Structure 1
Amino acid sequence: MSFQGEQHPGVEAPTAESQGFRLNHTMLRVKDPEKALAFYSRVFGMSVVRRLDFEEMQFSLYFLARLEQGDDVPEDAGQRTVWTFSQKGLLELTHNWGTENQTDFAYHDGNAEPQGFGHICFSVPDLDAAEAWFDANDVEFVKRADQGKMKDVVFVKDADGYWIEVVQADRLAAMGD
Structure 2
Amino acid sequence: MQFTFAHNNFNVADLDASLAFYEKALGLREVRRHATDAFTLVYLGDGVTPHQLELTWLADRAEAYDLGENEFHLAFTVDDYAAAHALHKEMGCICFENEAMGIYFIADPDGYWLEIVPARK
Common topology (TM > 0.5): yes
Superposed CA deviations along residues 64-119 of structure 1, whole A, max 9, x for unmatched, are: 00124xxxxxxxxxxxxxxxxxx7310000000143xx3xx21122425xxxx511
* 1:36 to 2:18 alignment: yes
Counterpart CA distance in 2 for 1:107 and 1:61 is 16
What is the match of residue 8 of structure 1? none
What is the match of residue 90 of structure 1? 52
What is the match of residue 107 of structure 1? 65
What is the match of residue 123 of structure 1? 77
1:127 is displaced (CA, Å) by 1.7
- Which amino acid counterpart does residue 93 of structure 1 have in structure 2? L
User: Which among 86, 102, 106 is matched to residue 152 of structure 1?
Assistant: 102
* 1:143 to 2:96 alignment: yes
- Aligned 8 A contact 1:22 1:88 in 2: no
Counterpart CA distance in 1 for 2:41 and 2:82 is 33
Superposed CA deviations along residues 7-60 of structure 1, whole A, max 9, x for unmatched, are: xxxxxxxxxx22xx31010000000101111100111111111110133xx011
User: What's the RMSD between the two structures over aligned residues?
Assistant: 1.9
- Which amino acid counterpart does residue 122 of structure 1 have in structure 2? F
* 1:162 to 2:120 alignment: no
Counterpart CA distance in 1 for 2:73 and 2:56 is 16
The 4+ residue runs of structure 1 with deviation greater than 4 A are none
- Aligned 8 A contact 1:109 1:163 in 2: no
State the identity %.
31
- SS of 1:129's equivalent in the other structure is helix
- Aligned 8 A contact 1:48 1:63 in 2: yes
- SS of 2:120's equivalent in the other structure is helix
Q: Which runs of 5+ in 2 are unaligned?
A: none
TM-score normalised by L of structure 2 = 0.88
- Aligned 8 A contact 1:24 1:90 in 2: yes
More strand by share: 2
Counterpart CA distance in 1 for 2:46 and 2:25 is 11
- Aligned 8 A contact 1:24 1:89 in 2: yes
User: Which among 8, 13, 22 is matched to residue 4 of structure 2?
Assistant: 22
1:138 is displaced (CA, Å) by 2.3
What is the match of residue 42 of structure 2? 62
TM-score normalised by L of structure 1 = 0.62
Q: Which has the larger radius of gyration?
A: 1
